[in-house]
Amino acid sequence: MRRPSIRPVPAALLLALAACATNPVTGERELSLMSESQEVAIGQQYHTEIQQQMPPYEDAELQRYVQGVADRLAAASHRPQLPWHFTVVDVPAVNAFALPGGYIYMTRGILAYLNDEAQLAGVLGHEIGHVTARHAAQQYTRATGGQLGLIALGIFVPEARPFGQIAEAGLSLLFLKHSRDDELQADRLGVEYTAKTGWDPRAVPGFLNTLARIGEETDRAGVPNWLATHPQPADRVDEARAAIAKLGVPAAGRTDRDQYLRQIDGIIFGDNPEQGLVRNGEFVHPAMLFAVRFPADWQVSNSAAQVVAQDPRGNRLMLLQLEEAAQGGNIERTAVAAMQKRGLQLVDGRRGRVNGLEAFVGTYRGQMQNVGDVGVRGAHIAHGGRLFLLVGLAPADAYNAAVEAFDRSINTFRPMSRGEAADVKPNRVDLYTARAGDTWAALAERSGGVVPASTLAIINGYAPGEAPRAGERIKIVVTG
């Protein structure tokens, strides 16, 4: 990704700028190297890049619904004049995040874990709070104007690394990490904006409890979620409750649970087949008509640009990504040249076929940042008018023990028929009315075992040991 260029502000102007900068939330003057127009410009530029990495979720009615809730909150915020934009992105991770200037994003993954409209308002209010309190602009100022990545939510992997996003095992963006004080302030603002617009602010600590349960359940592969980019939610519940008490809300506001559940009924849960997903231990990509099997028990993370599989017990990993098409039809020459650009030198290699597909498989040596000397088994495979790069990497002293697993995986890369691809259906949220005697384990089994029983409990706001209440409309996850 290309970073925008903003010239550092001359030191002689700092005091003048500080005299003009008033925080919209606190009313206090603060040193700021970023004007409101710069905030908006940065948001606009990075909005385009984010949509390339995380396309909007294709549900116009759901987008309008979220926009409608968010517009009411933004209008009641400390900066209603900003050109606010709200987008549900097609990402399975549990996350919501903000760019400077009023650009707010929610993943479809987080929507499945919310249980009513008030919780939706609380999460949106939290992200709006980051913008209204100018948290990103403050971070830019603390960085003395030198590193725009701090405000543009970027861990932009240094070009010295041979594979762009390998260390992040996902998107090339890592969501902005705010200080603990910033997060607590955003929580308080989420409570304030939710209460001000008529929703029940008690939904905020309620969802923070859900986030805590997610953390207790398991680590989630994929895009870094709220647990990776925010302070521990359990520590924030009391703070949110104190903010509610300080507001003196006389009675609970509305939650609009039924309306919310109707809006997310049918939403995709987990990976979208159009972007590739793991089924029965195999990574399949129905749109590109291929499948590959990574080593058993490895953690597989998928993004718009790259699939990464990592050995949870060691330092071996594999990645799959598109490569530039072969020049002049010579796959060997293209493969070697592409790896040389990454600083990797060919040790040996051969042209051949992998499950009928033209391929060049080579052994390479080189160095990686923070790793040192590495051994790489790289396969360039031509399929469907595209050139795929499937590589296994390990430190040089561990490479010989890893290469057998790399080769086994490379040899599983295969084309899919259109009929097989058509049979791959996404997992979706479905609504169900709980009956007396239902348990999460029984519901999970009855739904085909798509997700664990603990996940069903958590997405419905229950602790895993609690049973669903008879007569309550709950969410289950089914295939199709």
The answer to whether the CB of 386 falls within 8 A of the CB of 321 is no
**Can you tell me the distance from the alpha carbon of 360 to that of 138, in angstroms, rounded to the nearest whole number?**
50
DSSP single-letter state for residue 163? S
pLDDT of res. 313: 80
Q: What is the pTM of this model?
A: 0.77
State pLDDT tens for residues 239-287.
778 878 887 766 678 999 999 999 999 999 998 999 899 888 899 999 9
Q: Closest Cα to residue 320, out of 378, 369, 372, 277? A: 378
- Residue 109: pLDDT over 60: yes
**Can you tell me the distance from the alpha carbon of 206 to that of 456, in angstroms, rounded to the nearest whole number?**
17
- Residue 222: pLDDT over 90: no
Please name the fold of domain 273-422. Answer: Protein Transport Mog1p; Chain A (3.40.1000)
Please count the residues of the chain. Answer: 480
Residue 160 burial (CB < 10 Å; 0-12/13-18/19+)?
A: exposed
CA distances from 171 to 38, 97, 98, 209 (A): 25, 14, 16, 27
What token pair was written down for 41? 């410009």
Which residues are 268's β-sheet partners?
428
pLDDT of res. 161: 43
State pLDDT tens for residues 300-327.
888 777 898 989 887 899 999 999 875 5
The answer to whether the CB of 478 falls within 8 A of the CB of 427 is yes
- Residue 470: pLDDT over 90: yes
Pick the CATH number of 427-479 from 3.30.70.360, 3.30.1330.60, 3.10.350.10, 3.40.50.180: 3.10.350.10
CATH 3.10.350.10 range(s) for the chain read 427-479
Q: Closest Cα to residue 149, out of 4, 40, 45? A: 4
What percentage of the chain has pLDDT greater than the value 90? 52
CATH 3.40.1000.10 range(s) for the chain read 273-422
241 or 380: which carries more pLDDT confidence?
A: 380
Which residues are 475's β-sheet partners?
431
- Residue 426: pLDDT over 70: yes
**Reported confidence tier of residue 387, pLDDT bands at 50, 70, 90:** very high
Residue 350 burial (CB < 10 Å; 0-12/13-18/19+)?
A: exposed
pLDDT of res. 172: 32
**Can you tell me the distance from the alpha carbon of 389 to that of 79, in angstroms, rounded to the nearest whole number?**
47
